[in-house]
Structures are given as C-alpha cells and as structure tokens.
A and B are shown apart, each in its own frame.
Chain A
Amino acid sequence: MLVFVDWSDDLARLVEVRDGLNVSWAKTEVNVYPEDYGQVASVLGFASANNLSVYPFCMGTNPVGPTVKTKIGLVFSRLNSVLEVSPENLYVSAQSGCPLTSLSAELDKRGLYLPTDYAGSMGGWASANAVSAYSTWYGMPRELVLGAKICTGDGVLVSSGSKTTKFSSGYKVWKSLIGSLGWLGVFVELYCRVYPKPEVFVSGVGDTSLLNTLLRGGLRPLCVWVVFEAGGREALGAVFGGYASALKRINTSLRLSEGILKPTTLEGNIVTVASKKGLESEYAKRALSVLKGDMAIAYVGSGVVRLSVKDFSYVEKARRLLGVPIIVERGDYNGDYWGYHPAVLKKLKQALDPKGVLSPGKFCLEHS
C-alpha cells in the first residue's frame, strides 16, 4: 500500500510513485519510475528544491557500501533500451536501466561484445566501476565508457564525453561519476566501447607459477584471475580470445588444462583491496591472511582484489598493514566503509549535487 507523505502528491504529478523499498541495502519511503530523461531531471530538481534525499538504483543486484535510507528511490528500470549499436564505429549506446543481458544479446547478433561478466544494469555497472575477469586486458567501466548523458543532483541534464574513442573537449564529468555509486550524479544514457567478438575463446586452468608468463610474456590473455582459499589452495584461470587457427595450441604450450576456473565472483561479506596493478596476487595473499578471509580473487592487471570474509574485525588492521585503500564492499560494518575521503570528492559533490540529496551517507559521512 502506498504510504502518502506530504510531498509525495507533488512528486506524483511529475512521475509515477509507488511504495518504497525496505531491503538490507536500501530503505526508501517511496519509489519513482521515470520513463524519460526529463522525468529524471524533474525528480532530482524537485528533490533538490525540497531537500529530499534520493537513492538511485535499478536491479539491486550489486549493492556496494553502507545501507542508505532516503525519502525517494529513483528506479531506472523503465529506461531500459538499447538505443544504437554501431559495428563500424564499435560503440553501443543504451539507457542506464538496460540489463547487461539484453545488451549482450543485441551485441551478439552483430558479432560484438562488451567485455564484462557483470550481472545487472548498465548504470549499475558504470556506477560501481565493476571489475571482472575481463579487466586484465580491457580494463574497467572507467576505461570502457566513452561518454554519457548524466543528471546532476539538482536536475541538470548534461552530455559529457561522446561516442568517439577520445574526448578532450571539457571536463570529464561522466568519468567522475564512474565508480561514484550515484553519489555525485546519475547516468541516464551511456556510450560504451565494444569489441569484435573473437572467433574463439580458449580458457584454461593452471598453477600460479604461470602468472608472470601470462602477465608479462607478451601473450595478451583477455582474462587472468587467481583464486586463493584460506586453506592454502590456489589456482589460476586464463582466457584467450582470437582466431581459432592462432589459438589452437596456446593451452598446450602454456601447460594449462582446459576448463574454466570457478569462482569468478564472490558472495556474502565482501572486502575490496585496491592493490598495485600487476601485484594483485601478492596483495590477495597478504589480505587473505590479515583479514582472516575465506577466499580471495585477484583480478590480475586490474589493481583489484576481492575477498569474502566472515566479518570485518580486521579491516582497520589490514588498512594499516597493507597501506592501500581497503573498502567494505558488502555487509554490515560499524566502521568507515571506505577509509579514504579526499577533499577533491567533496568539491565535486559541491559542484554536482549542491544540496547533497543523492545517497547521503553513501560516501562521506558529512557533506560540506
């Protein structure tokens, strides 16, 4: 049943309003379902003018950071179209609520692919700057998103970046939103770089002694990840992509067994370690030990290690000992989820969400 609050009648004149959300990762009083970009801008303009907090989300498959409680949930599920696929120019444009499964299906028809195994929406993928096994070679959304239409916290629609491969024509506003979890602004439409789908993918499993050869041997694997378990077991997975004739002997020559190493992702309480690129395995082993975790995945070449942990008792100790950013990605934590609060981000918040309505508490504890 819809809970009416004093401002919701006004909001309902702008956009469809429904019951809010009450789940572990977000609590909202009402949810709104914009059907076009103008409605997104209207909602955020209204929220900003009335000091109403807003939590933007779509599928809710990959919540990151602390639970947010807001007045309004801004749901992108109706902005879910693939707008354009350009095989000649190798880009795709899609609305931010578009599920990556739908996008992948469209790309597949054209012999293209977006290198990620993320399960969720385009906007969620970009907002989380989600790492995947493919990040070894292709990087993360930070590298793959060419441009976007975004909306600021006070409801200004901005085109930033473009569909071209490079852009040096003004501040990279869209790039600042990548990884900012909807705290600086929201994506309404994204332009992403896509690639010709390789003729074959060849996957293999091996031991970690191959790591240096794979990482620095000039072979250019698309994916390399290493799984470490608390008991000391460790294994390496790799994926190559290319022409069948070229890759027919690659596994044999590297002494890799055919197969796909599992898992490629984690469940439960998750901690992310921002390692130095190329040293993910070393950081994974140390973090697993210090955090007393169950399992760690080193996404080799990405600078990201993710660990599943029983609890977060050793997060502060790990921050001190490892000396790199350690983030509580998922789970209930009483401390600081992020461990870093640069003034630069507060300045960007001031510029892009001047009233601080977007996801208060998601990042800095206080908005100045």
Chain B
Amino acid sequence: MDVRREVEEIVGARWVVEGEDAALFGFDAFTAVKRRPRLVALPADEEQTVRLIALLYRSCTPMVFRGSGTSLSGSTVALTGEEVVVSLTRLNRVYSCEGLEIEVGPGLANVLVTRHAPHDLFYAPDPSSYSVCSIGGNVSHDSGGIHVPKYGSTFNSVVKLRVALCDGSVEDVGGTPYFNGANIFVGSEGSLGAVLRATLRLHPRPETTRTVLGAFQDVASAARAVSAIYEEGVIPAAVEMMDRNSIDVVEKSRYKAGYPDCAALLLVECDGYTPQVEEEVRRVRLVFECLGGEVMVPENPAESSRLWLGRKGAFPAMGVVSPAYLTLDSIVPRTELASVLEEVGRIAERYGVMVANVFHAADGNLHPLIPYNPESPKSLENALRAGWEIVEASMRCGGVPSGEHGVGIEKARFMHQYYSQSELEVLWRIKRAFDPDRLLNPYKMLYENPPETGDRVVSLLYTKPWEAE
C-alpha cells in the first residue's frame, strides 16, 4: 500500500508536507526534543480527517494529532519519525452559538472562541498561549490558565465532543447528565482518538472586574496569603504568584510592568456583582496588609492591564536570559506551596540553574521556568534533571506531575512512579480498547519500553527514575 499516494488522494497533494518542510511540524513548545515526522497531512474537514485516520490505521501507520503545536509536554512530537502528523488546523470553523454553548472545530485558536461569542459571554479557559493554541489541543491536554480558580479547567467547559475513532467511526459524546463518553477524551493527549468538534460552555461576563497586587518580602507570607484569601470567603477569579527571579526577568523585558521590588508578588483578580467585588477587594487588601504585604489596587483598567501584561509576558520574557527554557507544571496542595518553593530553591542551587517561578498560586500549580543553552546537551540535561527533582518534590507533598500541560514526552517517566503497576494496567486497558494496535500518539503518556530513537535526550526522558542512568 502506497500510504503517501493514498493520503494525497484524500487531502490533495498541496496539503501533504514532507522532507525538510515537515521538520517544522517536528517540535512543539517542549523544545528539548525535535524529530522530523514521516509525513504531515492537513485535512480540510471532518470527512477527510476521518478517512485519513481510517487509512493510516488500516495501514498500521502511527499518527500524531496536532493543532497549533504549543504543547509544553511534547505530546505532539513525532517521536520515532515513523508517525504521520495529522494537522487539524484547517478544521477551524465556528458551527453554532446558542444559549451558553458554542460549537467549534479543533483547529480554532482559543482566543477566537470569545471573539465569536455574543458580547455578554466569554470563554473562560485561557492558557498562556491562548492567542495561538488550538481548542483541540486544549481539550487533549485539559489546559488551564489563570482563571481556573473560579471557572475551572478546559474539562469544566467541555459540554460535548465529536470524536473520530481509529476504525473510521465518528461519535458524538457528552451533553448528557448520565453516561458521558466525552469525559475520557479530555486530557487523553490524542491517544484514544481525534477531536473533530467541541461544544464549549460560555460564561456571562462579570459586571465588574478588579485587580489587587500584593508585594511581599518573603515567599512564605505570599503563600500564606493565598489560603487566607479563601478563609475570608473570597472566591477570586485568579491568583497568580511571581517570585523575585521572574519579576526581574519581566522588568528587563518589553513586558515591563513596574512591579515593586519584592521577594514575591501576588496578582489577584476579583469579578462578579459589583458590591460583592468591592467587598472582596477590601478583604484581599486586608489579608495582604495583615501578612506584611504592600498593596496596590489599580484604579483604572489600563493600570490593571499593565500589571497583567507583565504576568502574561513572563514566559516569553525568559528570552531575556536564555534562548530556551523548560516549563514544568506539577501541582501541589496550596498549603505546601511555601515548602515546595523552598525546595525548588535548594534544587536550583544544587544544579546551578536560575529557576524563575511564575504560577497559578490558587491552584498550587507551579510553573518553574528553567533556562538552558540549546547548543549544549550538558546544559539541557542539567535542566532536565533539576526539573525531575522538582516534580518528585511535588509528588512527595501530595502533588501530581502535571496540572495542565499533560504528560506527553516530558513526564512519561513519572507515570511509572505516580501509578502502581495495577493502576497502569487499567490505563493500558483503556488505551487498548480504543487503540488496539497502539498507533495513536505512540509513546506519549503510556509506554512499556522506551522508543528506540538513538537520541540521547529521548533516552534520558524515558529512563524510569529508579533505573541506573
């Protein structure tokens, strides 16, 4: 069977990419691994996508579903080079918008969901890459963002899904209070099927939105303030923390926000009914002051935007100190934040790396950014090892390896540490039920034996923690 020719027949020769050009689809935002896929196909619509998946499965061709390529865990990388990348970026239609629901294709960028919604509604999940990341990728990773504390992750906003299964069948799942087949697909990283269409929940825009900044001279007080906000009955829309390193980086970049000089700052957003929001702001201010924080409450939207722009620019601002960096996303109970951050500091010192912490504090979702020199394998290895220790420290505190970026390549090694063998076997049973030949996004999330790629970094990533390296 000439797979390439048949792929061309389905999507048209113009929409098949190979050779040097295919390398552009060989990496994502987890920049540590770059592999060239065998072929890239860009179907135009659902019908072509379904035919393509059935063809590839029938011909025993491994495949990777891909949107905008912003995965931070490497889950859209064609690891072995044998995979065909099925790019869903052309499936970017808005099908309908009714009530509090909007139905969109997986290739639509996150930011465009709200733009297509009625003026009084918005789509809440907003990962850092929201201006480019696709809805299909958000669903596959169960992406979060800064507004999770009040509105939940992508899972909470998924009402229904249309999925393509490996046998070429299409199913509409979800949208029912009882048996809900959509739930298993959210966060499954393209390993069970492809998302062809997502019906998403929209939220009413709040009457009022206010920002409060708290600057603290020690991380422990800032961490304590996060829980104290809730103890005051406040349900914030967002609580973000930045440590001194991340503040320094932002202030040196074009995202400069004029942040105060401090060990840690908290950015809090309160939204909702105006009198309720005013009282919440008063109480947040009080909490910060009681814990020794310096408080700033912007009086106008432009000032608020400036503060948030600094936070949102913290990832790209890392370019000021390094051309490449790792972004971790382990999550811990809020009460463990201070101790885990202390441990992160000790790990950074031990490995001689500068770690900048900028993260979703209300969720306990750490985002240590670890810079490395992409030209130096030793530098990358050092950063990876420091990152693994941070993930392990998080798990020791009752946390989990990934809160919102997914397992992908980056955290595959931790699956054997986080789950027992019998638990892993149950996950494998699910995988086999949907993908008996293991052709959908192979080696992501679950693996038995490491892929044989000859790549030193890949070998490292797939070495189980207890195995000698």
Chain A residues close to B by CB (< 8 Å): 64-65, 86-90, 128-129, 131, 139-140, 142-143, 152, 156-160, 162-173, 175-176, 178-181, 183, 195-199, 215-220, 240, 242-243, 245-247, 250, 272, 274, 276-279, 301-304, 324-325, 327, 338, 340, 342-345, 347-348, 350-352, 354, 363
15 more contacts with CB within 8 A, not counting A90-B230, A172-B188, A246-B279, are: A87-B231, A158-B423, A162-B331, A168-B403, A172-B142, A172-B184, A176-B184, A178-B180, A196-B231, A196-B232, A250-B273, A303-B175, A327-B178, A348-B184, A350-B429
User: In whole Å, how far is B269's beta carbon from the nearest beta carbon of chain A?
Assistant: 14
Which residues of the other chain, A, contact B402 by a CB distance below 8 angstroms? 167-169
Q: By the criterion CB–CB under 8 Å, are B426 and A166 in contact? A: no
Which residues of the other chain, A, contact B99 by a CB distance below 8 angstroms? 276-279
Q: By the criterion CB–CB under 8 Å, are B445 and A170 in contact? A: yes
Most buried by B among A166, A198, A243, A348: A166
Please report the C-alpha to C-alpha distance between residue A248 and residue B275 in the assembled complex, in whole angstroms. Answer: 10
Among A274, A301, A351, point to the contact of B177 (Cβ < 8 A).
A274
Q: By the criterion CB–CB under 8 Å, are B173 and A342 in contact? A: yes
Q: By the criterion CB–CB under 8 Å, are B184 and A165 in contact? A: no
Please report the C-alpha to C-alpha distance between residue A128 and residue B179 in the assembled complex, in whole angstroms. Answer: 9
Most buried by A among B121, B183, B333: B183
Name the residue of chain A whose CB is nearest to the CB of B408.
A168
Q: By the criterion CB–CB under 8 Å, are B204 and A220 in contact? A: yes
Please report the C-alpha to C-alpha distance between residue A127 and residue B188 in the assembled complex, in whole angstroms. Answer: 22
Which residues of the other chain, A, contact B100 by a CB distance below 8 angstroms? 215, 276-278, 301
Please report the C-alpha to C-alpha distance between residue A301 and residue B202 in the assembled complex, in whole angstroms. Answer: 10
Which residues of the other chain, B, contact A352 by a CB distance below 8 angstroms? 426, 429-430
Is B300 interfacial (CB-CB < 8 Å)?
A: no
Which residues of the other chain, A, contact B434 by a CB distance below 8 angstroms? 347
Chain B residues close to A by CB (< 8 Å): 98-101, 120-121, 141-144, 148-149, 152-153, 155-156, 159, 163, 165, 169, 171-173, 175-181, 183-184, 186-188, 192, 201, 204-208, 227, 230-235, 272-273, 275-276, 278-279, 329, 331-335, 362-365, 398-407, 411, 414-415, 418-419, 422-423, 425-427, 429-434, 445
Q: By the criterion CB–CB under 8 Å, are B425 and A156 in contact? A: yes
Of the A-B pairs whose beta carbons lie under 8 Å apart in the complex, a sample of 23, sorted by A's number, is: A87-B230, A88-B335, A89-B335, A129-B178, A142-B183, A158-B422, A162-B398, A163-B333, A164-B398, A164-B403, A165-B149, A166-B148, A167-B187, A167-B331, A195-B235, A218-B207, A274-B175, A327-B176, A340-B179, A343-B169, A347-B433, A354-B429, A363-B179
Q: By the criterion CB–CB under 8 Å, are B279 and A245 in contact? A: yes
Q: By the criterion CB–CB under 8 Å, are A164 and B273 in contact? A: no
Q: By the criterion CB–CB under 8 Å, are A168 and B404 in contact? A: yes
Q: By the criterion CB–CB under 8 Å, are B101 and A342 in contact? A: no
**A220-B273, A344-B171 are known contacts. Are A243 and B233 too (CB-CB below 8 A)?**
yes
> Which 9 pairs between the two chains have the least Cβ-Cβ distance?
A278-B99, A278-B100, A344-B181, A218-B207, A246-B275, A279-B99, A175-B183, A351-B429, A166-B403
Q: By the criterion CB–CB under 8 Å, are B188 and A166 in contact? A: no
**A245-B279, A343-B169 are known contacts. Are A164 and B183 too (CB-CB below 8 A)?**
no
**A165-B148, A168-B142, A169-B400 are known contacts. Are A218 and B186 too (CB-CB below 8 A)?**
no
**A129-B180, A166-B142, A351-B430 are known contacts. Are A156 and B422 too (CB-CB below 8 A)?**
yes
User: In whole Å, how far is A135's beta carbon from the nearest beta carbon of chain B?
Assistant: 9
Name the residue of chain B whose CB is nearest to the CB of A301.
B100
Which residues of the other chain, A, contact B232 by a CB distance below 8 angstroms? 196
Which residues of the other chain, A, contact B405 by a CB distance below 8 angstroms? 168
Please report the C-alpha to C-alpha distance between residue A160 and residue B400 in the assembled complex, in whole angstroms. Answer: 11
Q: By the criterion CB–CB under 8 Å, are A216 and B121 in contact? A: yes
Please report the C-alpha to C-alpha distance between residue A180 and residue B177 in the assembled complex, in whole angstroms. Answer: 9
Q: By the criterion CB–CB under 8 Å, are B178 and A156 in contact? A: no
Please report the C-alpha to C-alpha distance between residue A240 and residue B418 in the assembled complex, in whole angstroms. Answer: 41
Please report the C-alpha to C-alpha distance between residue A348 and residue B429 in the assembled complex, in whole angstroms. Answer: 9
User: In whole Å, how far is A174's beta carbon from the nearest beta carbon of chain B?
Assistant: 9
Q: By the criterion CB–CB under 8 Å, are A325 and B411 in contact? A: no
Which residues of the other chain, B, contact A363 by a CB distance below 8 angstroms? 179
Please report the C-alpha to C-alpha distance between residue A274 and residue B279 in the assembled complex, in whole angstroms. Answer: 37
Q: By the criterion CB–CB under 8 Å, are B184 and A272 in contact? A: no
Please report the C-alpha to C-alpha distance between residue A143 and residue B177 in the assembled complex, in whole angstroms. Answer: 12
Among B141, B156, B273, B365, point to the contact of A143 (Cβ < 8 A).
B156
**A89-B335, A167-B400, A325-B176 are known contacts. Are A175 and B418 too (CB-CB below 8 A)?**
no
Among B171, B206, B332, B335, point to the contact of A218 (Cβ < 8 A).
B206
Q: By the criterion CB–CB under 8 Å, are A179 and B204 in contact? A: no
Most buried by A among B155, B180, B230, B407: B180
Please report the C-alpha to C-alpha distance between residue A250 and residue B175 in the assembled complex, in whole angstroms. Answer: 33
Which residues of the other chain, B, contact A171 by a CB distance below 8 angstroms? 184, 187-188, 192, 427, 430-431, 445
Please report the C-alpha to C-alpha distance between residue A245 and residue B414 in the assembled complex, in whole angstroms. Answer: 49
User: In whole Å, how far is A130's beta carbon from the nearest beta carbon of chain B?
Assistant: 8
Which residues of the other chain, B, contact A173 by a CB distance below 8 angstroms? 184, 426-427, 430
Which residues of the other chain, A, contact B178 by a CB distance below 8 angstroms? 64-65, 128-129, 179-181, 272, 327, 338
User: In whole Å, how far is B377's beta carbon from the nearest beta carbon of chain A?
Assistant: 28
Q: By the criterion CB–CB under 8 Å, are A216 and B187 in contact? A: no
User: In whole Å, how far is B100's beta carbon from the nearest beta carbon of chain A?
Assistant: 3
Q: By the criterion CB–CB under 8 Å, are A219 and B273 in contact? A: yes
**A168-B406, A218-B207, A303-B175 are known contacts. Are A351 and B331 too (CB-CB below 8 A)?**
no
Q: By the criterion CB–CB under 8 Å, are A218 and B331 in contact? A: no
Which residues of the other chain, A, contact B204 by a CB distance below 8 angstroms? 215-218, 220
Q: By the criterion CB–CB under 8 Å, are B148 and A348 in contact? A: no
Which residues of the other chain, B, contact A195 by a CB distance below 8 angstroms? 235
Q: By the criterion CB–CB under 8 Å, are B398 and A163 in contact? A: yes
Q: By the criterion CB–CB under 8 Å, are A342 and B181 in contact? A: yes
User: In whole Å, how far is B71's beta carbon from the nearest beta carbon of chain A?
Assistant: 11
Q: By the criterion CB–CB under 8 Å, are B333 and A344 in contact? A: no
Q: By the criterion CB–CB under 8 Å, are B433 and A351 in contact? A: yes
User: In whole Å, how far is A34's beta carbon from the nearest beta carbon of chain B?
Assistant: 19
**A183-B179, A279-B99 are known contacts. Are A350 and B172 too (CB-CB below 8 A)?**
no
Please report the C-alpha to C-alpha distance between residue A216 and residue B415 in the assembled complex, in whole angstroms. Answer: 42
**A142-B183, A156-B425, A351-B430 are known contacts. Are A165 and B276 too (CB-CB below 8 A)?**
no
Please report the C-alpha to C-alpha distance between residue A250 and residue B273 in the assembled complex, in whole angstroms. Answer: 10
Most buried by A among B169, B178, B183, B333: B178
Please report the C-alpha to C-alpha distance between residue A164 and residue B231 in the assembled complex, in whole angstroms. Answer: 17
Name the residue of chain A whose CB is nearest to the CB of B414.
A169
Among B207, B233, B415, point to the contact of A219 (Cβ < 8 A).
B207
Q: By the criterion CB–CB under 8 Å, are B365 and A196 in contact? A: no
Q: By the criterion CB–CB under 8 Å, are A279 and B233 in contact? A: no
Most buried by A among B273, B399, B403: B273
Please report the C-alpha to C-alpha distance between residue A294 and residue B391 in the assembled complex, in whole angstroms. Answer: 56
Q: By the criterion CB–CB under 8 Å, are B331 and A338 in contact? A: no
Which residues of the other chain, B, contact A347 by a CB distance below 8 angstroms? 433-434
Q: By the criterion CB–CB under 8 Å, are A218 and B172 in contact? A: no
Q: By the criterion CB–CB under 8 Å, are B363 and A172 in contact? A: no
Name the residue of chain A whose CB is nearest to the CB of B422.
A156
Please report the C-alpha to C-alpha distance between residue A343 and residue B179 in the assembled complex, in whole angstroms. Answer: 12
Q: By the criterion CB–CB under 8 Å, are A168 and B187 in contact? A: yes
**A199-B233, A217-B204 are known contacts. Are A340 and B180 too (CB-CB below 8 A)?**
no
Q: By the criterion CB–CB under 8 Å, are B177 and A304 in contact? A: yes
Q: By the criterion CB–CB under 8 Å, are B426 and A196 in contact? A: no
Which residues of the other chain, A, contact B177 by a CB distance below 8 angstroms? 129, 131, 140, 179, 272, 274, 302-304, 327
User: In whole Å, how far is A156's beta carbon from the nearest beta carbon of chain B?
Assistant: 5
Q: By the criterion CB–CB under 8 Å, are A162 and B400 in contact? A: yes
Q: By the criterion CB–CB under 8 Å, are A179 and B176 in contact? A: yes
